[in-house]
Chains A and B, each alone.
Chain A
Amino acid sequence: MSTQKVTLRVYRGDAESGELQDYTVEVSEGMVVLDAVHQIQATQAPDLACRWNCKAGKCGSCSAEINGKPRLMCMTRMVDAIKTAEGGPILVKPMKTFPHIKDLVTDVSQNYRNNKKITPFRPAPKGPDGEWKIFQYEIDRAQEFRKCIECYLCQNVCHVLRDHHEFSFAGPRYMVRAAGLEMHPADQGDRIDQLKEELGIGYCNITKCCTEVCPEGIHITDNAIIPLKERVVDEHYDPITALFRKVFGKKAPPNPAP
Chain B
Amino acid sequence: MLRPQGMVTLSLGATDRKDAWWLSPLLFAIAFGGFSIYATWAAWQNEFYRFGPYLSPFYSPLLKPEWLPPWLSPAFLILGAPLGFRLTCYYYRKAYYRAFLLDPPGCAVGEGKPSGYRGERAFPFILQNLHRFFLALAILVWGILVKDTVEACIWDGQFGIGLGTLVMMVNVVLLGLYTFSCHSFRHLIGGKHDCWSCLTFGKQRHTLWRGVSWLNGRHMQFAWVSMIWVGLTDVYIRLCAMGLLQDSRLF
Contacts and interface: CB of A to CB of B under 8 A. Distances in A.
B87 to A, nearest CB: 13
Contacts of B184: 230, 233
B7 A227 contact: no
A164 B102 CA distance: 13
B16 A67 contact: yes
Given A67-B16, A202-B126, A237-B129, A165 B216 contact: no
Nearest to A164: B117
B221 interface: no
Contact of B120 (A93, A100, A202): A202
A127 to B, nearest CB: 12
Most buried by B among A166, A205, A221: A205
B147 interface: no
Contacts of B206: 137-138
B209 to A, nearest CB: 9
Interface stretch (B31-39, B56-64, B196-204): B196-204
Given A13-B4, A17-B3, A209-B107, A203 B121 contact: yes
Contact of A162 (B18, B108, B119): B108
Contacts of A96: 5-6, 8, 10, 108
Contacts of B188: 230
Q: How large is the interface on A (under 10, 10 to 19, 20 to 34, 35 or more residues)?
A: 35 or more
Interface string B108-139: 10110111011111000110011110000000
A164 B197 contact: no
B15 interface: yes
Contacts of A162: 108
Contacts of A100: 4-6
B194 A184 contact: yes
A188 B192 CA distance: 14
A217 B179 CA distance: 26
B120 A163 contact: no
A252 B104 CA distance: 41
B10 to A, nearest CB: 7
Contacts, number: 181
B4 A67 contact: no
Interface stretch (B77-85, B90-98, B243-251): B90-98
A133 B195 CA distance: 10
A163 B114 contact: yes
Contacts of B117: 160, 163-164, 166, 203
A205 B202 CA distance: 32
Interface residues of B, number: 57
Contacts of B108: 65, 68-70, 96, 157, 162, 209
B176 interface: no
A182 interface: yes
A114 to B, nearest CB: 16
A232 B184 CA distance: 12
Interface in A109-140: 133-135, 137-138
Given A163-B10, A202-B120, A106 B5 contact: yes
Contacts of A137: 196, 203, 206
Contacts of B6: 96, 98-100
Contact of B119 (A106, A205, A255): A205
B234 interface: no
Given A203-B117, A203-B121, A222-B217, A233 B129 contact: yes
Interface in B199-227: 202-203, 206, 216-217
Interface of B: 1-10, 15-19, 90, 93-94, 97-98, 103-104, 107-108, 110-111, 113-115, 117-121, 125-126, 129-132, 183-184, 186-188, 191-192, 194-198, 202-203, 206, 216-217
| Nearest 5 A/B pairs, CB to CB | A68-B16, A202-B121, A254-B195, A68-B17, A209-B107
16 contacts: A19-B1, A65-B16, A67-B16, A68-B18, A68-B108, A98-B6, A137-B206, A138-B206, A160-B119, A182-B194, A203-B119, A205-B125, A209-B104, A237-B126, A254-B198, A256-B198
Given A135-B197, A233-B184, 10 more contacts: A20-B2, A100-B5, A138-B194, A164-B111, A185-B198, A202-B120, A207-B104, A222-B183, A237-B129, A255-B195
